[in-house]
Structure 1
Amino acid sequence: MTDRDHAEQGGSMTAVVTTGVGGYERLAVTQLPVPVPGEGKVLLQVLAAGVNNTDINTRTGWYGDGGWNARTPFPLIQGADACARVVCVGPGAGTGTAVVGSQVLVRPCCTSAESGESRWLGSDSDGAFAQYLVVPRSEVFPVRSGWSDAELATIPCAYGTAENMLERAGVTGGQRVLVTGASGGVGSAAVQLAVRRGAEVVAVAGPAKQNRVRTLGATTVLGRDDDPRTAVGARSVDVIVDNVAGDGFPALLEVLVRGGTYVTSGAIAGAQVALDLRTLYLNDLRLLGCTGWEESVFANLVSYIEKDEIRPLLAGTFPLRDIEAAQRQFLTKEHVGSYVLIP
């Protein structure tokens, strides 16, 4: 496997190994040795693992020739979301935040201070679709809450991505924020997190999910086929959080105020969009692409959980062995929130 810490630990574990780019036939449920933590790393028992677009996009080759930084290191254990328990600490890792027996969340996006490059759990190194996982001690965050393991596993990737976009866009109280794809994992997180910052949220969701999105704090909910220029008005929105893109992209820019901000970290409806540069420069707009996370993002999320300032949106759970069924259900897009695998 890609994490060279794998070695005999006195037992074996069940893991889902993605063998390469392709369909569900690339997901192999197998037995592997329990990994051993190397220098500065910790061994975790995975309690729950979330299902994300990132896992599927990496397997299907949607990102192109490679993962986030280079060619994806298949065969690979995917899984960007991990709620886990610390089993043991490797040499040089000390104790610090990695107290044996403590419940933790794993930060899925680690940005190098030297190179500025981001490495993603489950895309650039082995992830959470296994019973055990080895990660650097720096990426382990203890969490104290009354949430279940599965509820906690909905947080890392989706909420981290959403919080990072809001942070980069500088969302503050009193602003008007439009969130597309508001029933999905990142979208529903963005609604909650923008409301937490004191923003007025306009959300876009399908008819069957609109009431659920309203309960997250959205003031206005639009349908996917609604023209935002008519529904909310031109130059009426300060920030747009858009992970949908596709054909609706040009209309979104027209509802931004002069000097407004468009921020994205995905393109569910299509990565190729039409951009009229006159709309961009004549209105002094900012377009932000987000992959790497600000350093403060994950610690902030953990504090929001512990203060009950956000709530999980758990769409359902599946046994780890049923990963194909979980991903198929995920791709129907009939849910609000996230699906989670239980090892």
Structure 2
Amino acid sequence: MTEIPKTMKGVQLIGHGGLEMLQYRDDIPVPTPTSNEVLICVSAAGVNNTDINTRTAWYSKSDANSTDASWSGNTLVFPRIQGADVCGTIVAVGDKVNSKRIGERVIIEPCLRAAKGQTLNSPWYYGSECDGGFAQYTLVDSQHAYAVNSPLSDTELASFPCSYSTAENMLTRSNVTSQDTVLISGASGGVGSAAIQLAKARGAHVIAITSPSKNQQLLELGADRVVARDADLIEVLGENSIDVIIDLVAGKQWPQFLQVLKPGSRYAVSGAIGGALVDLDVRTLYLKDLSFFGCTVLDAGVFQNLVNCIEQGKIRPLVAHTFPLEEINIAQERFLAKQHIGKIVLKI
């Protein structure tokens, strides 16, 4: 039986702002699981855009007013332990959870439909509406802790949950098949590189938008073609040439997406790192019979599909850098530099 300490090391977000709002501590109380929860000893946790967007109040639509700056659009409760990408081992369970789960190596589904034994009216995001994985121990409802049978390391497994489930959800919502040509923006990032692999696993033809310095790596990852991020997409790809766009960037290039989409095709979005406000010609939207999908909440079965792909070896982890938890500031600075492909992971 693992002896569970009273306190733990972790990083608390104490308010919206810069990196100074992240405080590393060694005296945070270890949480106790309620009836339907499991306590996980965290071994690795990935860094995400969501962590930074939450810290800086980027989600706010009211001039970074903190009253609507959480992932769900509500007030964030401080201090908050962030971290949506988690791999670890179950060390304790609530009284309604089978004790045989103790000892399972798990990854956490970051989009939560249940918490504290209750079904949520509106889903939470792990590390936003509740504490996440930037600590030695974390809690989650048992249904969101997925056992994984894989030879991959804990660090490698921690690269999957957020980015790959987001990518798989976008492909699921937009119904990508082997007959489709898929254009992926922000293709060298965590979600983009995941989308390349998962789209190829479906048999699709994949075109990746990236910087030229990353071309070869994305081709080796499975992309059939790469396009420069500042290219004129209409000139390079041609109008009405794309079946599905997986967009993580938005920004000034966005109007070109509608031009290259075929009539009756699909657009899925789950990020706006290039700029959230875009010019939409509604005539193009309805005259081409386009379908738009905003993708945040995971569809049922998406995370299990991801676990299946991991266990079957259909996708591979992309860990660009690792840092100890106490160097989270350095890790986030490296993340924001956008010079890497794949994930940056904190070792707990």
TM > 0.5 fold call: yes
Judge which range, 194-203 or 33-42, deviates more.
33-42
The aligned residue for residue 75 of structure 2 is 71
Alignment of 1:103-252 (within 5 A): 103-111=105-113, 117-252=122-257
Counterpart pick for 1:303 among 284, 298, 308: 308
Alignment of 1:51-90 (within 5 A): 51-64=47-60, 65-69=68-72, 70-90=74-94
The aligned residue for residue 268 of structure 1 is 273
Determine the C-alpha separation between the residues in 2 that align with 1:292 and 1:74.
23
Shift of 1:115: 6.1
Residue 244 of structure 1 aligns with an amino acid whose one-letter code is: V
Shift of 1:95: 3.7
Shift of 1:325: 0.2
Residues 203-254 of structure 1, C-alpha deviations (whole Å, 9 max, x = no match): 0011111111111211110001111111111101000000100000000110
Counterpart pick for 1:293 among 288, 294, 298: 298
Judge which range, 161-170 or 115-124, deviates more.
115-124
Shift of 1:102: 1.4
Residue 336 of structure 1 aligns with an amino acid whose one-letter code is: I
Residue 234 of structure 1 aligns with an amino acid whose one-letter code is: E
Counterpart pick for 1:336 among 327, 338, 341: 341
Work out whether 1:35 is the aligned partner of 2:31: yes
Give 3-state SS (helix, strand or coil) of 1:150's partner: helix
Give 3-state SS (helix, strand or coil) of 1:77's partner: coil
Residue 310 of structure 2 aligns with an amino acid whose one-letter code is: I
Residue 191 of structure 1 aligns with an amino acid whose one-letter code is: I
Give 3-state SS (helix, strand or coil) of 2:85's partner: coil
Shift of 1:29: 0.5
- Normalising to structure 2: TM-score of the pair? 0.93
The aligned residue for residue 5 of structure 1 is none
Task: In structure 2, list runs of 5 or more residues that go unmatched.
Answer: 61-67
Measured at CA, do residues 14 and 114 of structure 1 come closer, stay the same or move farther in structure 2, by a change above 3 Å? closer
Give 3-state SS (helix, strand or coil) of 1:259's partner: strand
Q: For this pair of structures, how many residues does the alignment match?
A: 334
Residue 90 of structure 2 aligns with an amino acid whose one-letter code is: V
Residues 86-127 of structure 1, C-alpha deviations (whole Å, 9 max, x = no match): 10111212246xx11111001100236966622110011000
Residue 91 of structure 1 aligns with an amino acid whose one-letter code is: D
The aligned residue for residue 65 of structure 2 is none
Residues 38-81 of structure 1, C-alpha deviations (whole Å, 9 max, x = no match): 12111100010000000000000000023132211221000000
Determine the C-alpha separation between the residues in 2 that align with 1:180 and 1:116.
32
Determine the C-alpha separation between the residues in 2 that align with 1:190 and 1:95.
36
The aligned residue for residue 100 of structure 1 is 102
Contact 2:54-2:71 at 8 Å conserved across structures: no
Q: For the aligned residues, what is the CA RMSD?
A: 1.4
Residue 75 of structure 1 aligns with an amino acid whose one-letter code is: P
Determine the C-alpha separation between the residues in 2 that align with 1:231 and 1:72.
43
Determine the C-alpha separation between the residues in 2 that align with 1:34 and 1:49.
17
Measured at CA, do residues 43 and 302 of structure 1 come closer, stay the same or move farther in structure 2, by a change above 3 Å? same
Give 3-state SS (helix, strand or coil) of 1:117's partner: strand
Contact 1:111-1:293 at 8 Å conserved across structures: no
Contact 1:83-1:150 at 8 Å conserved across structures: yes
The aligned residue for residue 20 of structure 1 is 15
Determine the C-alpha separation between the residues in 2 that align with 1:278 and 1:42.
50
Determine the C-alpha separation between the residues in 2 that align with 1:274 and 1:311.
36
Give 3-state SS (helix, strand or coil) of 2:253's partner: helix
The aligned residue for residue 283 of structure 1 is 288
Determine the C-alpha separation between the residues in 2 that align with 1:296 and 1:116.
19
Counterpart pick for 1:258 among 250, 263, 269: 263
Determine the C-alpha separation between the residues in 2 that align with 1:95 and 1:88.
8
Determine the C-alpha separation between the residues in 1 that align with 2:174 and 2:90.
35
Contact 2:185-2:248 at 8 Å conserved across structures: yes
Determine the C-alpha separation between the residues in 2 that align with 1:197 and 1:73.
40
The aligned residue for residue 64 of structure 2 is none
- Normalising to structure 1: TM-score of the pair? 0.95
Residue 263 of structure 2 aligns with an amino acid whose one-letter code is: R
Residues 6-63 of structure 1, C-alpha deviations (whole Å, 9 max, x = no match): xxx6431101000010001100001212111112111100010000000000000000
* Identical aligned residues as a percent: 49
Determine the C-alpha separation between the residues in 2 that align with 1:248 and 1:270.
10
